[in-house]
């Protein structure tokens, strides 16, 4: 495999270069400019820098160009020099000259839309190619995961009683009705569990998950096996086959890396089968209750990103709406905030706490205790994350207005606030 890898990589680079060059030539023809020097530049940079130029450096330039468009003026970029006596970069300068003024760098009154499209395609096209990151970048991702844990602990230590009271009051105002419904579902045993599609920390996959043989005492105290594992009570004797483990013996989540971009992988955590099984039960109840709330269903979305895209598009036009795309968002949600958010609903609180894994196994770095609520991999990660962020957004609105918001006040912002998380 080690012998074949350079050959395969060389073939991949050749194919990607051929594709990039062809697209550059066609785009230049459409935009009435030349891409000859750009193609030479890419060939030279790829020869010295390899695949990272196409998959990391070019996408970074693409993000910079997007920022220039937003700001209406060309800025600097460390990887590409500007033309002598011009504000525009030498690389892709022909396309840039049809979008920005060469002398001042300001966005033209009537920029060439085809050139903007070409700039985006030629810089961003390989940004999310499905290949593994280098070992060094993988190690950096794990170090960042561990650092995020320290950051969450530091955040918890800085929380004041006033912060907690404000957060709890706002979350109760926003989600109280939803939490009422889910709390009753837990109390009356109306939750419907299922196995999720992902891999699990204990190695069970597909239909093999129905052969799970481990439960936890934390689950048993609020979500007993007899109610949620057995088809009916005639199968009571099967409970003897289960190993009910104490908190210290629970299987920790297994932290792994999956492809995202070649700059950084995505860090996720595989949950134990029994945890994933009951997380799905709470998720189902949450989604049903969330869908019945005419306000929250407009503010938080889980299956349709079009409203967010429409708001972002309008924000780029009138500059009245800001878009925030947070890095490592899931790994920075404090479990203490989630606990305070749910404290008034004892059955829901207990169920969410029981289905949360408290420790994570990080390969050579061993097992750590988690301060975050959960990483990607938990079925409840995105719902809790979305509710925490929505609460913080409305707290910011409340502070900016210097007045206490009512639910009616919050509803008036339904068309201008939107949080999206994929489930």
Tens of pLDDT, residues 215-247 = 999 999 999 998 998 877 778 888 888 899 999
Query: Which residues fall within 8 angstroms of residue 354, CB to CB, at 6 or more apart?
Result: 216, 218, 219, 221, 222, 223, 278
Q: How far is CA 368 from CA 123, 131, 146, 358, in A?
A: 39, 29, 9, 9
Write the pLDDT tens digit of every residue in 178-207.
999 999 999 999 999 999 888 899 999 898
| Predicted pLDDT of residue 168 | 97
The pair phi, psi for residue 5, each rounded to 5°, is -60, -50
Would the pLDDT of 309 be above 50? yes
| Predicted pLDDT of residue 307 | 87
| Predicted pLDDT of residue 5 | 47
Q: How far apart are the C-alpha atoms of 228 and 143, rounded to whole Å?
A: 38
Q: How far apart are the C-alpha atoms of 97 and 25, rounded to whole Å?
A: 17
Task: Tell me the three state secondary structure of residue 98.
Answer: coil
Of the chain, the end-to-end C-alpha distance in Å amounts to: 37
Q: How far apart are the C-alpha atoms of 118 and 31, rounded to whole Å?
A: 8
The pair phi, psi for residue 416, each rounded to 5°, is -125, 0
* Predicted TM-score (pTM) of this structure: 0.85
Q: How far apart are the C-alpha atoms of 227 and 233, rounded to whole Å?
A: 8
61 dihedral zone (left: phi>0; alpha: psi -120 to 50; beta):
alpha
Cβ-contact 221, 207 below 8 angstroms: no
Residues making up the chain, counted from first to last:
423
Task: Give the rounded percent of residues in the chain with a pLDDT score beyond 70.
Answer: 97
Task: Tell me the three state secondary structure of residue 107.
Answer: strand
Q: Is the C-alpha dihedral spanning 218, 221, 226, 229 positive or negative? A: negative
Cβ-contact 168, 392 below 8 angstroms: no
Q: How far is CA 5 from CA 1, 10, 12, 46, 263, in A?
A: 6, 8, 10, 17, 20
Q: How far apart are the C-alpha atoms of 80 and 315, rounded to whole Å?
A: 29
Cβ-contact 195, 277 below 8 angstroms: yes
CA atoms within 13 A on the CB side of 242: 24
Q: How far apart are the C-alpha atoms of 87 and 93, rounded to whole Å?
A: 10
Q: How far apart are the C-alpha atoms of 284 and 276, rounded to whole Å?
A: 12
Domain boundaries, the chain: 4-124, 135-420
Reported confidence tier of residue 9, pLDDT bands at 50, 70, 90: low
195 or 322, which is more confident? 195
Cβ-contact 155, 327 below 8 angstroms: no
CA 325 from centre of chain:
8
Can you count the helices (H) and strands (E) in the chain? 17, 8
Write the pLDDT tens digit of every residue in 32-43.
999 999 999 999
Would the pLDDT of 8 be above 70? no
Cβ-contact 191, 279 below 8 angstroms: no
Most confident of 8-12, 237-241, 310-314, 387-391: 387-391
Query: Which residues fall within 8 angstroms of residue 117, CB to CB, at 6 or more apart?
Result: 27
Hey, what are 105's tokens? 């760098």
**Average pLDDT over all residues of the chain:** 91
| Predicted pLDDT of residue 10 | 67
Cβ-contact 209, 197 below 8 angstroms: no
Mean pLDDT for the stretch of residues 21-47: 95
Query: Which residues fall within 8 angstroms of residue 381, CB to CB, at 6 or more apart?
Result: 330, 373, 374, 375
Hey, what are 338's tokens? 């989630």
Would the pLDDT of 281 be above 90? yes
Q: How far is CA 367 from CA 138, 255, 266, 326, 362, in A?
A: 18, 10, 19, 26, 6
Mean pLDDT for the stretch of residues 115-128: 95
Hey, what are 345's tokens? 């609903």
| Predicted pLDDT of residue 20 | 96
What single string gives the DSSP state of each residue in 329-368?
GGGG-BHHHHHHHHTT-HHHHHHHHHTS--EEE-GGG-EE
| Predicted pLDDT of residue 4 | 39
Lowest average pLDDT, out of 8-17, 35-44, 286-295, 354-363, goes to 8-17
């Amino acid at each position: 495999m080690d012998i074949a890898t350079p050959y395969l990589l060389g073939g991949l680079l050749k194919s990607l270069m051929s594709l990039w060059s062809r697209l550059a030539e066609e785009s230049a023809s459409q935009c009435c400019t030349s891409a000859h020097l750009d193609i030479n530049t890419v060939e030279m940079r790829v020869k010295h820098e390899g695949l990272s130029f196409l998959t990391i450096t070019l996408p970074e330039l693409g993000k910079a160009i997007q920022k220039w468009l937003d700001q209406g003026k060309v800025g600097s970029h460390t990887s590409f020099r500007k033309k002598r006596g011009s504000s525009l970069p030498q690389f892709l300068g022909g396309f840039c000259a049809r979008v920005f003024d060469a002398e001042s760098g300001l966005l033209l009154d009537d920029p060439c839309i085809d050139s903007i499209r070409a700039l985006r395609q030629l810089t961003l096209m390989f940004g999310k190619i499905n290949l593994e990151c280098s070992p060094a970048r993988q190690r950096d991702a794990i170090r960042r995961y561990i650092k995020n844990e320290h950051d969450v602990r530091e955040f918890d230590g800085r929380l004041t009683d006033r912060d907690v009271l404000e957060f709890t009051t706002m979350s109760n105002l926003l989600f109280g009705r939803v939490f009422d419904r889910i709390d009753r579902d837990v109390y009356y045993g109306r939750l419907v569990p299922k196995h999720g599609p992902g891999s699990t920390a204990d190695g069970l996959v597909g239909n093999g998950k129905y052969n799970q043989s481990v439960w936890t005492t934390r689950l048993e105290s609020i979500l007993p096996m007899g109610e949620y594992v057995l088809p009916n009570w005639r199968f009571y004797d099967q409970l003897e086959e289960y190993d009910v483990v104490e908190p210290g013996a629970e299987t920790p989540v297994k932290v792994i890396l999956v492809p995202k971009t070649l700059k950084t992988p995505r860090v996720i955590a595989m949950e134990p089968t029994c945890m994933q099984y009951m997380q799905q039960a709470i998720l189902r109840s949450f989604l049903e209750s969330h869908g019945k709330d005419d306000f929250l269903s407009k503010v938080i979305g889980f299956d349709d990103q079009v409203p967010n895209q429409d708001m972002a598009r309008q924000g780029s036009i009138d500059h009245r709406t800001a878009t925030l795309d947070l890095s490592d968002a899931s790994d920075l949600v404090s479990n203490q905030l989630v606990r305070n958010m749910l404290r008034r609903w004892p059955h829901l609180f207990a169920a969410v706490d029981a289905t949360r894994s408290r420790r994570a196994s990080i390969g050579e770095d061993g097992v750590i205790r988690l301060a975050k609520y959960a990483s990607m991999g938990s079925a409840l990660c995105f719902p809790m994350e979305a509710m925490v962020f929505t609460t913080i957004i409305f707290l910011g609105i409340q502070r900016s207005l210097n007045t206490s918001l009512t639910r009616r006040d919050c509803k008036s912002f339904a068309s201008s606030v939107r949080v999206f998380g994929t489930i």
